[in-house]
A and B are shown apart, each in its own frame.
Chain A
Amino acid sequence: MRTIHELTDAYRRGETTPSEATDAYLSRIAKLDDKVGAYLTVTADRAHAAARAADERYRRGRPLGPLDGAPITLKDVFCTRGVRTTCASKILESFVPPYDATVVDRLAKAGAVMLGKSNMDEFAMGSSTEHSALRVTRNPWDLTRVPGGSSGGPAAAVAAGLAAGGLGTDTGGSIRQPAAFCGVVGLKPTYGRVSRYGLVAFASSLDHPGPFGLDVTDTARLLGAIAGHDPMDATSIDAPVPDYTAGLEQGVRGLRLGVPDEYFTKGMDAEVEAAVRVAIDVLKGLGATLERVSLPATPHALATYYVIAPAEASSNLARYDGVKYGLRVPGRDLIDMESKTRAAGFGAEVKRRIMLGTYVLSAGYYDAYYGQAQKVRTLVRRDFDAAFARVDLIVAPTTPNVAFRHGEKADPIAMYLNDVFTIPADMSGVPGVSVPCGFTASGLPIGLQLIGRALDEATVLRAARAYERATDWHTRRPELA
């Protein structure tokens, strides 16, 4: 199992070709994905064609860049022209978009080879991928456990060697949490840094597309390809995109790291806390200075998130009515058809959030819920502003616990609590990464989270890389027969 930078180095040296690598991944998918369940759609023909074009470029000595020929997977939330895009929902099971998401287009232009579309919680609502209406995805480190979510498919695929890298989305932790559970690197960029055009919306003000990699370098390369202003997305930021790989090796000497009190809570897994504390010491040993910081609005972030995200979701998902595309269940009349289609097409968690969101936006409740939630959101942002006035980065655990068993968190609230350390960065829009920082005694990965200033992904990645270089957690691979 090689990283993207190892693969592309090998292409350059002529040791292997994008086609050979693509074939190897496709046969590994054929052999192992019955166990892992990472993919919803495998696009072998397209992958072959894209790989052959990359072969030719390497043969002529003119690859497109650091991703040319990299076999990757996309969470099935990104629209792909001519390839079905399901959001792991019955309502979109047959939906074939006539357009590519901006990030899909950018990856294709960078020469990346799309192997297929990977599983997720339905409409990205969940933290275990158990809410997929189409497939069960298992954690490659322990097949009885979940890969996390909602981007469980791409995280599991990268961890299991079923793709060299991937793209997911993070709305409440949906990249960082599965990255932590699967022992890979996952980055949530700054809100607006990466275009959302063509990403099927869950919660528009919280959805962040971002990369998965086996290591920080791959993650930085993927980010470099997808970041940047997009005229099709009015919320995308028009700021220059730095070379994220350029400063990666500069270390953390002189960086001030903030350790937030609120991210080390009573109920958290002791092994997780211990591993993260050791990781923080490693960073200190590398020359960073540590400082206690406080993010006092953290305890309110979760509740606030469960007002804002469902509100936006209830609106975004209104379009799935059986009239234009996707599932249509016949009915007596229009309203009956729409009701039956939505009843049959959405799973329980999606319905729960649509109802919640519809309620909080209703006349008479708006101010008490949505209006109030926006105020708390401002407080969460101010927390980060205040902290980043004193420190360069915040270090914390990615999740309070490691991967749990399928069915273990049947209570929605227990599931929601999984995202308590990741939600604040989504609420404030600042970038965060999860890197492997250890394993429990039973062999389950633990994630270290680094959060930075808005648009300062470079520092986040640089610190993550410094930690990675000093440790070898990221080199461990699950054993899949």
Chain B
Amino acid sequence: MTAGKWDVVIGLEVHAQLTTRTKMFCGCPTTFGAPPNTQTCPVCQGMPGTLPVVNRRAIEYGVRTALAFDCRVNHACRFARKHYYYPDMPKNFQISQYEEPLAEEGWLEIDRPDGHARRIGIQRLHLEEDVGKLVHEGTLETAQASLVDFNRAGVPLMETVSKPEIRSPEEAAAYLRAFRAVLVYLGVCDGNMEEGSLRCDANVSLKPAGAARLGTKVEIKNMNSFRNVQRALEFEVKRQTEALDRGERIVQETRLWDADRGYTRSMRSKEFAHDYRYFPEPDLVPLKLDAAWIDEIRRVLPELPRARRQRFVAAYGLPAYDAALLTQSRALAEYYEAAVRDFPQPKLVSNWVMSELLRELPGDDERAIEQATVTPSRLAGLLRLIDDGTISGKIAKTVFETMVRTGEEAAAIVRREGLTQVADAGALAAMVASAIAGNPKAVEDYRKGKTAAAKAFVGQVMKASGGKANPAMVSKLVEAELEKLTKT
């Protein structure tokens, strides 16, 4: 994006909590939402004399992700200590990776608004431990005391740093969506931004259009949803554009996004930035990754969102839009494929999944889809009833709503509530005749060439039948009856 005479340059740092059962360096569980400090031990509380031991599963998840992004996995990597004082960090240093990260040099493909795909480079991917949480009594400014909850301290975090190759806030949002989809497909992160399992910081700078040298970058933090990432970046691009247009200099700093007020505000200037005093973690030996192990992880990589999307177009003949939407979440794609297996009309299934299913679910995350009361086979059952003419498409929508509420099969609801279509030609003919007889003016309109009047009669009959009349038959009967009247 060019903001007038400026090129926008954005780099994203995404922190993803890995869904390992235990923490990065101890055996504590990682479950979200447990009572404060119940999922802790001397190690993750940073008690004197305790030592970290690497969770091999977290390494595996990191490698899996690195391979999905086509990164170079470093066969030898190392943990390092990153120092700063903050009470949510038990040791006052974080075990992270610095000079020797797990993986480097990969890429992620995103879709641009113009429909073209673009590769965004990934600079590095490394593992570290999460910090705890501070709970303030009252607001941060007025609190008399703060409490620390170390449940989250030590949960495995994967940091992935993109290259500064993102050119607009829309692209940033697209990157994040594509990134999340990959992680969720890989089963390494639940992708929940609201619960903080996916967190994103951005570096934003502007440079004169076409210039090679990057401008001064500003770091934006605290964007806790996809929408906020885009809003915050749009605000920041505008802020920097206006400043540069006024001839001001951009200050290298960290700014916090305030979602309520819709602006970013300065948090700390980089001139007073922390010196993290990184050095190799002496309590851990350098990690040696066996090539055979990496190959094995590569071998069992699942189909990734992009490949699946292409397959959906090729195999099911779906429009690109449908394929993109259905493959954004692994659970949704799997739902769709299961339903199509039971009811092989891909486009009809796609329509129902995209409109009805997603509207009725409490969320579009993996959990909501996996726990949907309308299972793929039940949705297929419903679609079969439309297909064989038992119910109309309109009635089917009502049936679907009932299915969501009660978890019943469509056929049972249709039977209980008497929703079968009226397809008895005799009964319908009587209803059509009475509708036409009751509205001579519409008949007159029809005679004068207003064919829309026919639709009104169909609507009337459908209404009179409580939606149960077979609309195609009603339409045919109305037309035949009106034809007769006009000829006489």
Q: Are B52 and A234 in contact (CB under 8 A)?
A: yes
Q: Are B277 and A362 in contact (CB under 8 A)?
A: yes
- Per-position 1/0 for B273-286, Cβ under 8 A of A: 00101110011110
Q: Are B51 and A361 in contact (CB under 8 A)?
A: no
Q: Are B282 and A98 in contact (CB under 8 A)?
A: no
Residue of B87, B283, B285 ringed by the most chain A CB atoms within 10 A = B283
Q: Are A79 and B48 in contact (CB under 8 A)?
A: yes
Q: Are A231 and B51 in contact (CB under 8 A)?
A: no
Taking a contact as CB atoms closer than 8 A, the residue among B48, B275, B285 that contacts A362 in the complex is B275
- Per-position 1/0 for B119-130, Cβ under 8 A of A: 000000000000
A366 at the interface (CB under 8 A from B): yes
Extra inter-chain contacts (11) besides given A235-B283, A335-B85, A358-B277, CB under 8 Å = A197-B50, A204-B283, A234-B285, A235-B51, A235-B285, A315-B279, A319-B48, A321-B87, A334-B87, A361-B279, A366-B279
A27 and B92 alpha carbons, distance in the complex (Å) = 43
B91 at the interface (CB under 8 A from A): yes
Query: Which chain B residues lie closer than 8 Å to A205 at the CB level?
Result: 282
Query: Which chain B residues lie closer than 8 Å to A232 at the CB level?
Result: 51, 53
Taking a contact as CB atoms closer than 8 A, the residue among B49, B54, B83 that contacts A198 in the complex is B49
Known: A234-B54, A312-B282, A334-B87. A323 touches B49 (CB 8 A): no
Can you name 22 A-B residue pairings with CB atoms under 8 Å?
A: A78-B49, A79-B48, A92-B48, A98-B42, A98-B47, A197-B51, A204-B282, A205-B282, A231-B53, A232-B51, A232-B53, A233-B283, A234-B284, A311-B279, A312-B279, A315-B83, A318-B83, A318-B92, A319-B46, A323-B87, A324-B47, A362-B275
Closest-CB distance, B260 to chain A (whole angstroms): 26
Known: A85-B48, A234-B53. A319 touches B284 (CB 8 A): no
Query: Which chain A residues lie closer than 8 Å to B278 at the CB level?
Result: 361, 366
A366 and B279 alpha carbons, distance in the complex (Å) = 9
Query: Which chain B residues lie closer than 8 Å to A366 at the CB level?
Result: 277-279
Query: Which chain A residues lie closer than 8 Å to B146 at the CB level?
Result: 334
Q: Are A87 and B48 in contact (CB under 8 A)?
A: yes
Q: Are A234 and B279 in contact (CB under 8 A)?
A: no
Closest-CB distance, B274 to chain A (whole angstroms): 10
> Count the B residues whose beta carbon is within 8 Å of the partner chain — how many?
29
Q: Which residue of A lies closest to B281 (CB)?
A: A204
Q: Which residue of A lies closest to B287 (CB)?
A: A234
Taking a contact as CB atoms closer than 8 A, the residue among A95, A315, A325 that contacts B277 in the complex is A315
For the complex of A and B, list the 3 residue pairs with the smallest distance between their C-beta atoms, beginning with the closest: A318-B92, A204-B282, A361-B277
Q: Are B90 and A97 in contact (CB under 8 A)?
A: no
A232 and B278 alpha carbons, distance in the complex (Å) = 24
Q: Are A97 and B284 in contact (CB under 8 A)?
A: no
Closest-CB distance, A356 to chain B (whole angstroms): 13
Taking a contact as CB atoms closer than 8 A, the residue among B42, B85, B91 that contacts A338 in the complex is B85
Taking a contact as CB atoms closer than 8 A, the residue among A101, A318, A358, A361 that contacts B49 in the complex is A101
Query: Which chain B residues lie closer than 8 Å to A312 at the CB level?
Result: 279, 282
- Per-position 1/0 for A68-101, Cβ under 8 A of B: 0000000000110000010100001001011101
Q: Which residue of B lies closest to A312 (CB)?
A: B282
A199 and B375 alpha carbons, distance in the complex (Å) = 55
Taking a contact as CB atoms closer than 8 A, the residue among B45, B282, B285 that contacts A324 in the complex is B45
Interface positions, chain B 17-68, Cβ under 8 Å from A, are 42, 45-54
Residue of A78, A314, A319 ringed by the most chain B CB atoms within 10 A = A319
Residue of A196, A233, A234 ringed by the most chain B CB atoms within 10 A = A234
Closest-CB distance, A351 to chain B (whole angstroms): 16
Interface positions, chain A 316-348, Cβ under 8 Å from B, are 318-319, 321, 323-325, 334-335, 338
Q: Which residue of B lies closest to A321 (CB)?
A: B92
A312 and B277 alpha carbons, distance in the complex (Å) = 11
Query: Which chain A residues lie closer than 8 Å to B468 at the CB level?
Result: none
B289 at the interface (CB under 8 A from A): no
A319 and B283 alpha carbons, distance in the complex (Å) = 15
A205 and B81 alpha carbons, distance in the complex (Å) = 14
Q: Are B284 and A323 in contact (CB under 8 A)?
A: no
B93 at the interface (CB under 8 A from A): yes
Closest-CB distance, A207 to chain B (whole angstroms): 9
